[in-house]
Amino acid sequence: MKILVCISHVPDTTSKINFTENDTQFDTNGVQFVINPYDEFSLTRAMWFKEKQGASVTVVNVGNATTEPTLRKALAIGADAAIRVNAAATDGLFVAKQLAEVVKNGGYDLVLTGRESIDYNGGMVPGMLASLVDFNFVNGCVGIEVDGTEVSLVREIDGGNETHASTLPMVVAGQKGIVEESDLRIPNMRGIMMARKKPLTVVEPLEIENATAAQSYEKPAPKGAVKLIAADNIDALIDLLHNEAKVI
């Protein structure tokens, strides 16, 4: 089984979000970038398929050269090879079309992604990619088993889970549950050394117009200070929630 894992290069969750150049660019100054947490769950499941079922695992990212350390980290975790499509990722449909080209050229059986990235939160690339290459698609996956070309999946739904059956080739967008938090791997020294020797191929993008473009960014309005209510004055809280906030 040939697995492709799509990796987004995102600011660490604890990053301060600021904008520069008249609020038209995300300020990367002082920001640490990581593998998108949702993608990391899927990458870890891919490692399981590699170790238990002999799958090969390639990771791919659409981004400029600054994203390579993130791809190297994925190699250090255990992926066999990496591909970087040399283009800034600014629009979901653009990224999906670039990834579709990689999928078509690589003959992958299973494409694993995260449900969404924690920077633009679009949640659209996996489904678009599946439609572009005409693969079966399951979103929000919290469990996947593959037997030959038969795939059994569990998807999270409102208030529960749904079990699906499908067949390869597939695109599956994972989230916590596809592996547990405790299954995530921190690259060890040997992995980091080996990652340096693994192939990282740079491919040039298809020329495609962006479907959408961020024109400017804003930060949320500053929040007022919390209103503190004494622990022995619950009546005051109920009064505020009813008369001021109007939520009860």
Partner 1 sequence: MSVLVFADSSEGKFKKSAFEVVSYGKRVAEQLGTTVAVVTINALDVSELYTYGAEKVLTVSNEQLKTFNAKGYTSVLQQAATAENASIVVLDSSINVLHVAPMLAVAMNAGYASNVVALPSEVAPFTIKRKAFSNKGFSNTVMNTENKIIGVAKNSYGVHENPVSGTSESFDVTLSESDFGVTSEKVEKASGKVTIADADTVVSAGRGLKGPENWAMIEELAEVLGAATACSKPVSDLGWRPHGEHVGQTGKPVASNLYIAIGISGAIQHLAGINASKVKVVINTDPEAPFFKAADYGIVGDAFEVVPVLIEKLKAFKAA
Within residues 38-77, the interface with partner 1 by CB under 8 A covers 38, 41
Q: Does 188 bind partner 1 (CB under 8 A)?
A: no
Between CA 61 and CA 6 the distance in angstroms is 6
Q: How many CB atoms lie within 10 A of CB 68?
A: 16
**Can you tell me whether residue 92 is helix, strand or coil?**
helix
What are the beta bridge partners of residue 157? Answer: 160
Q: Does 186 bind partner 1 (CB under 8 A)?
A: no
Residue with Cβ nearer partner 1 (54 or 222): 222
Q: Does 219 bind partner 1 (CB under 8 A)?
A: yes
Residue with Cβ nearer partner 1 (134 or 204): 134
Q: Please pick, from the candidates 81, 118, 192, 203, the single residue that binds partner 1 as defined by CB under 8 A.
A: 118
Q: Please pick, from the candidates 2, 19, 200, 205, the single residue that binds partner 1 as defined by CB under 8 A.
A: 19
Residue with Cβ nearer partner 1 (149 or 201): 149
Between CA 43 and CA 1 the distance in angstroms is 15
Residue with Cβ nearer partner 1 (189 or 228): 228
Q: Does 184 bind partner 1 (CB under 8 A)?
A: no
Residue 13: DSSP 8-state: T
Tell me how far, at minimum, the Cβ of 132 lies from partner 1, in Å: 6
Segment contacting partner 1 (CB under 8 A): 61-69, 105-113, 153-161, 188-196? 153-161
- Cα 113 to Cα 24, 57, 117, 145: the distances in Å are 28, 12, 10, 16
Residue with Cβ nearer partner 1 (122 or 191): 122
What are the beta bridge partners of residue 33? Answer: 11
Q: Does 206 bind partner 1 (CB under 8 A)?
A: no
Segment contacting partner 1 (CB under 8 A): 53-61, 103-111, 192-200, 203-211? 203-211
Q: Please pick, from the candidates 127, 187, 191, 205, the single residue that binds partner 1 as defined by CB under 8 A.
A: 127
Angle between helices 68-77 and 37-53 (to 10 degrees): 40
Which phi and psi angles does 148 have, rounded to 5°? 65, -120
Q: How many residues bind partner 1 (CB under 8 A)?
A: 83
Tell me how far, at minimum, the Cβ of 192 lies from partner 1, in Å: 25
Sign of CA dihedral 225, 226, 230, 233: positive
Element (H, E) at 86: strand 81-86
